[in-house]
């Protein structure tokens, strides 16, 4: 094993696959694809990161302390944490949306009053494009994030500070609050949270720029199977009358975050999550949902009488789902698909 491999393995041991965040992030609501946001909010895919990406995340986090020192040394006021020693946070979309501020700033030259502080890192090309085009044009996701934070904290402006990772050059931009855009973004979040089915794809071409590097491309365009958890289950609902509350129609109760992650044996997929390779083919009976496998023509059931949701998730090749050979083995040996 070489030095780099050893480093990468150590990083991966230190940072096992993260559990998905419980809320729709203010840092992502500006993304162009509503379907991507919905699939993320519904935990439809287990997203994992390579060690190099984890190092990039850590570098961005480490830069925050440098930004704070630069600003304080320059005579500006920067507050990183609230009275409880935690990052300033905001909530929206009935508590199903949220975000955390890098800080709040005052005594900014030329722009009196408090600012939302937003710190970013960028490679040379991204840095130069942002410097030339401005944040709203070049980094609309960052711009939307600041609009949400300004709107919900009451701060009328934001300070956007970017460091070039190639040469340590700095870029600063003063961003004013746009109430109409912030309200549109919050309405967008409420639409995504309130949708029982995934919104339309941004493109039907997996090679499109918006899809090419998306974490959900395999599920959205190909035959990947979704994760089994309460958020991918047809019985669950994100409620609008509580602070991020979820409920289960099947069991007539609220479901905790831990319960959502585990899911129960009564899980039945939201049919649209299987739409690339399966379609409902009949009436639901006793909780058993009949499907037709579009790749093979075979009939199968998502339920006790056929394939549990966990078996569907585990299938490495969906052609085995509903295949006569698979059904025979399951019946004869009381077997299940484990991947």
Q: Give 17's pLDDT tier (boundaries 50, 70, 90).
A: low
> For the chain, what is the mean pLDDT?
94
CB–CB of 119/161 below 8 Å? yes
- For the four alpha carbons of 35, 39, 45 and 49, in that order, the dihedral sign comes to positive
Digit-coded pLDDT (tens) for 110-129: 999 999 999 999 999 999 99
Digit-coded pLDDT (tens) for 60-75: 778 899 999 999 999 9
The token pair that represents 144 in the structure block: 């939307």
d(CA 24, CA 267): 22
Digit-coded pLDDT (tens) for 173-220: 999 999 999 999 999 999 999 999 999 999 999 999 999 999 999 999
Q: Give 13's pLDDT tier (boundaries 50, 70, 90).
A: confident
Query: Among 39, 99, 74, 63, which Cα is nearest to 229's?
Result: 39
Asked whether the predicted pLDDT for residue 4 surpasses 80, the reply is no
Q: What is the pLDDT of residue 52?
A: 77
Asked whether the predicted pLDDT for residue 20 surpasses 90, the reply is no
Place of tokens 């484990």: 338
**Inter-helix orientation angle 179-194/140-153, to 10°:** 100
**Which spans in 134-266 are helix H?**
135-138, 140-153, 179-194, 209-212, 217-221, 257-262
Q: Compute the average pLDDT of residues 32-39.
A: 98
d(CA 32, CA 26): 13
**Percent of the chain's residues with pLDDT above 90:** 83
Q: What is the pLDDT of residue 62?
A: 82
Kindly list the distances between the CA atom of residue 207 and the CA atoms of 37, 129, 198, in Å, as whole numbers in the listed order.
Answer: 19, 24, 20
Asked whether the predicted pLDDT for residue 18 surpasses 70, the reply is no
Query: Among 277, 155, 293, which Cα is nearest to 219's?
Result: 277
Query: Among 229, 253, 230, which Cα is nearest to 313's?
Result: 229
Question: Three-state DSSP class for 286?
Answer: coil
Could you please report the per-residue DSSP string of 87-109? B-EEEEGGGTEEEE-SEEEE-BT
Q: What is the pLDDT of residue 16?
A: 66
Q: Compute the average pLDDT of residues 270-284.
A: 95
């Amino acid at each position: 094993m070489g030095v780099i491999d050893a480093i990468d393995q150590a990083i991966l041991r230190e940072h096992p696959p993260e559990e998905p965040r419980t809320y729709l992030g203010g840092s992502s609501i500006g993304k162009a694809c509503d379907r991507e946001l919905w699939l993320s909010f519904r935990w439809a895919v287990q997203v994992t990161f390579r060690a190099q990406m984890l190092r990039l995340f850590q570098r961005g986090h480490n830069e925050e302390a440098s930004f704070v020192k630069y600003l304080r040394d320059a005579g500006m006021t920067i507050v990183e944490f609230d009275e409880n020693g935690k990052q300033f946070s905001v909530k929206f979309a009935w508590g199903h949306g949220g975000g955390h501020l890098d800080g709040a700033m005052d005594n900014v030259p030329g722009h009196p009053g408090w600012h939302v502080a937003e710190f970013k890192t960028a490679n040379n090309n991204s840095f130069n494009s942002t410097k030339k085009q401005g944040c709203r044009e070049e980094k609309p996701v960052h711009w939307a994030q600041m609009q949400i934070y300004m709107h919900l904290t009451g701060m009328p402006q934001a300070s956007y500070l970017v460091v070039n990772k190639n040469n340590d050059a700095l870029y600063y931009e003063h961003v004013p609050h746009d109430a109409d855009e912030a309200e549109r973004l919050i309405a967008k979040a409420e639409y995504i949270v309130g949708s029982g089915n995934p919104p339309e794809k941004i493109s039907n071409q997996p090679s499109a720029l918006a899809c090419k590097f998306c974490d959900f491309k395999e599920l959205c365009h190909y035959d990947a199977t979704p994760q089994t958890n309460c958020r991918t289950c047809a019985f669950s609902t994100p409620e609008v009358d509580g602070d991020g509350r979820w409920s289960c129609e099947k069991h007539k109760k609220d479901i905790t975050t831990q319960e959502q992650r585990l899911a129960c044996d009564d899980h039945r997929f939201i049919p649209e999550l299987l739409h690339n390779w399966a379609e409902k083919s009949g009436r639901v009976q006793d909780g058993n949902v009949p499907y037709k496998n579009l790749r093979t023509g075979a009939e199968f059931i998502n339920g006790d009488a056929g394939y549990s949701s966990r078996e569907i998730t585990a299938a490495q090749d969906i052609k085995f789902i509903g295949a006569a050979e698979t059904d025979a083995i399951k019946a004869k040996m009381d077997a299940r698909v484990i991947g």
